């Protein structure tokens, strides 16, 4: 074995990310044949086949997927270290792949993203919006946001500020059906509900008053896995909604919705940013985590 056991590691990682030897060659400033030869040498060193090679793309084998998950961050960390030395340690570079909940991405991250990209021109962001559970390894993600507890000890979890919710309805709905005075009164109302795509079950509405927790199972004519769809329905007088504050802030300020049960605190499930454990996380990851944490004031 050579003194450098894995000379084709960068070629392998870039080819896996791009699913193309040609695209990897452009990124590394070499020829496609150089990438192919480097990967072949790496396969010979490891004694396994890393890619299934097609005419238009290359696809990782099972062994390739396992190896990619283990070594991807090594390559990125080395690139960050080199870029940091060259740029005085202050410029982030490379591709960052992240996953955030749909509504949070659309209404909180999206409006602030242009400023972050302008401050970090060396970073390319690939942002996936989904409410389902996204596996960092399988989906090649640098970080993701998680609702609920994070049991995976292999991940670093940074807690976001409390995820505040507001229970509200349109004035027209309240004129027709009355205003609930307590969570128990919601049983007689049309409650517009959200369900998690992972479970298919409606999200319970949680209330807290004087240290006493109350949980309500919403019942009504509409349920969806897209929280943003609930707000226009509520504005049109269809029913009562409990939604993240950032989704209903404009409607509340404009008088299209009225807050209900204000004496009860309504805090949603814990929201965390997770990323793989590493002694020195890539600079672009640290910067994007800080960016997301700063957005917590909008929750």
Instruction: Look at residue 98 and tell me whether its pLDDT is greater than 90.
Output: yes
pLDDT at 178: 97
Q: Which residue has the higher pLDDT, 222 or 6?
A: 222
**Cα 282 to chain center, whole Å?**
17
Alpha-carbon gap, residue 27 to 7, rounded angstroms = 17
Asked whether 27 and 48 are in contact (CB, 8 A), the reply is: no
What is the average per-residue pLDDT within 66-88?
Answer: 69
pLDDT at 197: 65
What is the average per-residue pLDDT within 115-131?
Answer: 93
Alpha-carbon gap, residue 31 to 52, rounded angstroms = 20
Contacts of 220 (CB under 8 A, 6+ apart): 189, 190, 191, 192, 193, 239, 240
Alpha-carbon gap, residue 35 to 12, rounded angstroms = 8
Instruction: Look at residue 172 and tell me whether its pLDDT is greater than 90.
Output: yes
pLDDT band per the 50, 70, 90 thresholds, residue 1: very low
Q: Domains (ranges, CATH) in the chain?
A: 9-68 (1.10.10.10), 92-159+270-298 (3.40.190.10), 165-259 (3.40.190.10)
Please give the model's pTM, rounded to 2 decimal places.
Answer: 0.68
pLDDT at 181: 95
Which of 87-101, 110-124, 161-175, 205-219 is predicted with the least confidence, judged by mean pLDDT?
87-101
Asked whether 31 and 75 are in contact (CB, 8 A), the reply is: no
Asked whether 64 and 49 are in contact (CB, 8 A), the reply is: yes
pLDDT at 3: 40
Percent of the chain with pLDDT over 70: 88
pLDDT at 125: 95
Provide the token pair at 103: 């509504």
What is the average per-residue pLDDT within 152-180?
Answer: 88
pLDDT band per the 50, 70, 90 thresholds, residue 153: low
Alpha-carbon gap, residue 281 to 285, rounded angstroms = 7
What is the average per-residue pLDDT within 189-197?
Answer: 89
CB-neighbour burial class of residue 70 (10 A; exposed 0-12, middle 13-18, buried 19+):
exposed
């Amino acid at each position: 074995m050579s003194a450098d056991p894995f000379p084709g590691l960068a070629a392998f990682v870039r080819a896996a990310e791009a699913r193309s030897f040609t695209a990897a060659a452009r990124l590394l400033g070499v020829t496609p044949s150089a990438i192919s030869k480097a990967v072949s040498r790496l396969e010979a060193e490891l004694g396994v086949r890393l890619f299934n090679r097609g005419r238009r793309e290359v696809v990782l084998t099972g062994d390739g997927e396992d190896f990619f998950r283990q070594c991807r961050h090594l390559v990125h960390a080395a690139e960050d270290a080199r870029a940091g030395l060259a740029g005085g340690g202050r410029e982030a570079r490379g591709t960052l792949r992240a996953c955030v909940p749909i509504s949070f991405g659309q209404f909180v991250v999206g409006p602030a993203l242009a400023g972050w990209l302008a401050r970090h021109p060396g970073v390319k962001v690939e942002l996936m919006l989904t409410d389902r559970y996204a596996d960092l390894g399988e989906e090649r993600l640098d970080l993701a946001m998680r609702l609920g507890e994070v049991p995976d000890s292999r991940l670093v979890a940074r807690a976001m500020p409390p995820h505040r919710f507001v229970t509200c309805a349109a004035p027209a709905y309240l004129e027709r059906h009355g205003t609930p005075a307590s969570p128990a009164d919601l049983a007689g109302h049309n409650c517009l509900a959200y369900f998690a795509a992972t479970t298919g079950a409606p999200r319970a509405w949680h209330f807290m008053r004087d240290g006493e927790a109350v949980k309500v199972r919403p019942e009504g004519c509409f349920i969806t896995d897209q929280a943003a769809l609930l707000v226009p329905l509520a504005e049109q007088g269809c029913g009562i909604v409990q939604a993240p504050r950032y989704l209903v802030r404009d409607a509340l300020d404009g008088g299209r919705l009225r807050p209900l049960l204000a004496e009860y605190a309504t805090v949603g499930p814990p929201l965390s940013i997770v990323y793989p454990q590493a002694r020195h996380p890539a600079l672009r990851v640290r910067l994007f985590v800080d960016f997301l944490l700063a957005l917590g004031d909008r929750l």
